[in-house]
């Protein structure tokens, strides 16, 4: 092993390269002994070490103990994954200071060296070493749930550990539905772990540590905490056991002349007499008579369960009993010490301050806050324009999805049957506007299907005109997706539904957008059809999404599914009853299969799940129904949108004219046959719909490699024609129009069967 010794900025640095085993440990020990006795810290760069033996570990511990006498120690930097695992298995990753890089390790040493001189004095009957720490800056924060400044709207507020800092209060771990109070108990948290006391007498406390603590929020009903960096470290040692709270009160006296603050925050680790067992404490001490100068609303004074300190001050907080403290008491770096005790083997129970027993030694980090503030002010600010219905679960989802932002404004993108879609404009923590994204919130199962389909069929096929899922979160029965749109032209890009372009632009321009969508953007789907056996009646039944469809038709249209005839006075002819066909023929034909083309299809393609920017770039969303199916499915899905949703239907005369138009659309017998325009009314949207439908059928013909059979198209069209009867937002005339259209399609199917 090579050992390179240098002294940048006067800090001794050993850069090691090779195998650090027993034969090389002796060389390391000899170099370490050459260090000037005044050097309290040694930085060891292990980025070149590929092996670490037990003898080498013993050498590291030896130099650590020697430097600890000087209030210093070893700082290990740049560890490889193998070395990190060896230290973890040995239980030393929590004992020795570590840093990801040499530069950060040197910064750690500089901060420690810059700390003020150690002052020794007696506090509450024990010896104390008081050290002023550099760069201190902190605030005390109180927390309470709120949505859009309404504190009564949400009984719980989800906050991440990095936002809470060192905090205590009432809450629970993980996700919860709004209004749920089961499991709420006293909690204590740090940036590295959180624990909640059991709600029943014999319940054990629940903890989360490690990577889980970075992802799972604390759901709180009330909390107080301190965030920032401490101003003092006070290390206490008594000949006899002493009260930790009394000692903390004494530390107030020790630093008061240097701060004159009526409010101080504390984090402490104390050791009991029993074999290294101990306690972790975090809290806020304050002088009631003076605290209002910093806490005008009296949040600290109103806090329940205050502990009276010997001096007359009061303290609020919480603690955690520890199975062991080991060398943690000797740590000078707060983050280092807390990170080391954040394991399930060490953490025992969340306790009240009054339950802390006497200790034999302790380390107390003292925070001198500049203010007492509302912690929620630093959280993501969520603004919803024209929100309408807005649920507490959605607020929690947004906060977690946009946790990297300072604020987000959501504007509803109207459309969607079961999910809500929003255009999102967000600003990062430095106030810079980010690229626009789209947020979609829907039922958990639906959102999970969409995420899987996005992964399976979008990212591998249409990435540049699909969407990238930047994140997903769920809360209760709801889940949200944060979508990024590739190719958007900067933060001022405007996204609108394809529907708006359809209604306002000239027909040739609309058809050009359709062409771009169906034959270019989605070409990787439709352009690779597969010839295989399909069961069209089983695959296209509308009863999968609308199981009550037949009953709804009978109730709202007075059409019995048991009659084979459907009376259509608007056209002056009787037609086959489409609901009789659905009830009786679909089950009989469900097992029938035939060879036909299949491809990946969107499954619910319409004008309100395709977004268009100002440069006519198209972006497709809503993939919960995406999967391989009848290749013409998407084209047939869009046809009902154009003819049922867009044209005017305000009178019986409008209905008659539209049914004549419909009869013309259904008069063709081949997929490549352009339908005639049969319309005597004056609504220009009908001619527009005819142009769009003609184009859709031409695209369907291309996707089938010019197969002429139109029945697979009729069945895909029927699926979404039937469904209109169940739409709550449409009028009875629209439902009548859809029922008559379904009857015309069924007639065409039966006529084609008789002719074949």
pLDDT digits (tens, 9 = 90+) for 540-596: 999 998 999 999 999 999 999 999 999 999 999 999 999 999 999 999 999 999 999
Q: How many CB atoms lie within 10 A of CB 146?
A: 16
CA-wise closest residue to 543 among 723, 418, 732, 417: 723
Q: How many CB atoms lie within 10 A of CB 385?
A: 10
d(CA 501, CA 612): 8
Residue with the two structure tokens 């591998």: 460
Paired tokens of 184: 């709420």
d(CA 723, CA 738): 8
Determine if the pTM surpasses 0.75: no
Residue 159: what pLDDT?
85
Q: How many CB atoms lie within 10 A of CB 461?
A: 15
d(CA 719, CA 254): 79
Distances (CA, A) of 199 to 184, 196, 203: 7, 9, 7
Give pLDDT < 70 ranges for the chain.
Answer: 36-38, 69, 91, 93-94, 113-117, 146-155, 175-182, 201, 211-215, 256-259, 326-328, 330, 387, 414-417, 463-464, 466, 485-493
448: enclosing H helix or E strand: helix 444-453
pLDDT digits (tens, 9 = 90+) for 264-292: 999 999 999 877 789 999 999 999 888 88
- Residue 280 has φ and ψ, to the nearest 5°, of -110, 135
First to last CA, the chain: 86
CA-wise closest residue to 302 among 310, 291, 311: 291
Q: Mapping DSSP to helix (H, G, I), strand (E, B) and coil, where does residue 35 land?
A: coil
Residue with the two structure tokens 């929620």: 376
d(CA 480, CA 401): 8
Residue 179: what pLDDT?
44
- Residue 468, Ramachandran bin (φ over 0: left; ψ between -120 and 50: alpha; else beta): beta
d(CA 198, CA 316): 20
Residue 195: what pLDDT?
92
Strand-by-strand arrangement of the 41-52 sheet: 2-6, 13-20, 41-52, 73-77, 97-99
Cβ atoms of 717 and 693 closer than 8 Å:
no
pLDDT digits (tens, 9 = 90+) for 374-414: 988 888 888 998 767 788 788 888 988 998 888 999 988 76
d(CA 368, CA 138): 6
Sorted by sequence, the CB contacts under 8 Å of residue 225 that are 6+ apart come out as: 140, 141, 143, 164, 165, 166, 167, 168, 169, 189, 282, 375
């Amino acid at each position: 092993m090579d050992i390179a010794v240098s002294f940048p900025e006067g800090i001794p640095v050993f850069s090691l390269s090779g195998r650090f085993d027993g034969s090389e440990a002796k060389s390391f020990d000899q170099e370490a002994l050459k260090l000037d006795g005044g050097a309290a810290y040694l930085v060891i760069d292990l980025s070149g070490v590929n092996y670490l033996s037990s003898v080498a570990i013993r050498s590291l511990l030896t130099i650590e103990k020697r430097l600890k006498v000087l209030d210093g120690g070893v700082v290990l930097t740049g560890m490889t994954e193998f070395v990190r695992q060896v230290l973890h298995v040995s239980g030393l990753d929590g004992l020795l200071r570590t840093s990801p890089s040499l530069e950060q390790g040197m910064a750690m040493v500089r901060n420690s060296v810059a700390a003020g001189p150690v002052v020794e004095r007696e506090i509450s009957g024990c010896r104390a070493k008081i050290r002023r720490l550099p760069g201190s800056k902190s605030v005390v924060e109180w927390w309470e749930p709120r949505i859009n400044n309404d504190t009564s709207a949400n009984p719980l507020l989800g906050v991440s550990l990095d936002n809470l800092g060192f905090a205590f209060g009432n809450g629970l771990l993980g996700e919860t539905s709004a209004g749920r109070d089961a499991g709420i108990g006293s909690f204590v948290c740090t940036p590295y772990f959180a624990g909640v006391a059991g709600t029943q007498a014999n319940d054990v406390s629940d903890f989360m540590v490690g990577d889980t603590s970075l992802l799972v929020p604390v759901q709180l009903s009330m909390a107080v905490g301190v965030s920032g960096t401490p101003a003092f470290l006070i290390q206490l040692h008594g000949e006899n056991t002493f009260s930790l709270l009394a000692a903390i009160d004494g530390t107030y006296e020790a630093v008061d002349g240097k701060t004159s603050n009526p409010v101080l925050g504390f984090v402490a680790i104390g050791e009991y007499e029993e074999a290294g067992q101990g306690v972790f404490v975090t809290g806020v001490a304050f002088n009631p008579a003076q605290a209002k100068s910093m806490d005008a609303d009296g949040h600290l004074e109103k806090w329940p369960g205050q502990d009276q300190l010997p001096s007359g001050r009061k303290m609020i907080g919480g603690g955690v009993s520890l199975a062991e403290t080991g060398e943690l008491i000797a740590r000078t770096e707060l983050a280092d010490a807390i990170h080391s005790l954040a394991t399930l083997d060490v953490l025992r129970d969340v306790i009240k301050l009054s339950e802390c027993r006497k200790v034999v030694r302790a380390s107390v980090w003292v925070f001198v806050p500049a203010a007492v503030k509302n912690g929620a002010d630093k959280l993501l600010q969520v603004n919803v324009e024209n929100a309408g219905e807005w649920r507490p679960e959605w607020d929690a989802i947004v906060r977690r999805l946009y946790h990297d932002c300072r604020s987000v404004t959501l504007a509803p993108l109207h459309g969607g049957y079961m999910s809500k879609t929003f255009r999102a404009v967000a600003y990062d923590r430095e106030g810079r506007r980010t690229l626009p994204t789209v947020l979609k919130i829907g039922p958990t199962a639906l959102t999970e299907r969409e995420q899987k389909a996005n992964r399976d069929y979008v990212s591998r096929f249409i990435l540049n005109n699909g969407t990238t899922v930047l994140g997903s979160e769920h809360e209760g029965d709801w889940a949200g997706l944060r979508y990024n749109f590739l190719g958007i032209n900067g933060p001022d890009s405007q996204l609108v539904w394809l529907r708006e372009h359809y209604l306002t632009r000239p027909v040739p321009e609309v058809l050009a957008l359709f062409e771009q969508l169906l034959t270019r953007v989605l070409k990787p789907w439709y352009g690779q059809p597969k010839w295989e056996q399909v069961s069209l009646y089983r695959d296209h039944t509308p009863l999968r999404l609308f199981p009550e469809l037949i009953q709804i038709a009978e109730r709202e249209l007075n059409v019995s599914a048991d009659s084979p005839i459907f009376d259509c006075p608007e056209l002056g002819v009787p037609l086959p009853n489409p609901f009789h066909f659905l009830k009786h023929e679909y089950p009989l034909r469900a097992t029938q299969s035939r060879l036909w083309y299949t491809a990946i299809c969107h499954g619910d393609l319409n004008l309100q799940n395709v977004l268009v920017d100002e440069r006519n770039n198209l972006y497709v969303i809503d993939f919960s129904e995406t999967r391989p199916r009848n290749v013409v499915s998407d084209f047939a899905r869009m046809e009902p949108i154009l003819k049922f949703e867009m044209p005017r239907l305000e009178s019986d005369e409008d209905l008659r004219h539209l049914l004549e138009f419909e009869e013309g659309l259904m008069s063709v017998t081949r997929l490549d046959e352009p339908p005639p325009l049969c319309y005597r009314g004056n609504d220009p949207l009908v001619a527009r719909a005819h142009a769009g439908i003609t184009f859709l059928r031409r695209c369907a013909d291309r996707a089938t490699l010019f197969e002429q059979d139109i029945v697979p198209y009729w069945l895909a069209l029927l699926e979404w024609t039937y469904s209109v009867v169940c739409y709550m937002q449409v009028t009875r005339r629209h439902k009548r129009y859809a029922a008559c259209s379904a009857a015309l399609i069924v007639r065409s199917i039966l006529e084609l069967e008789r002719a074949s």
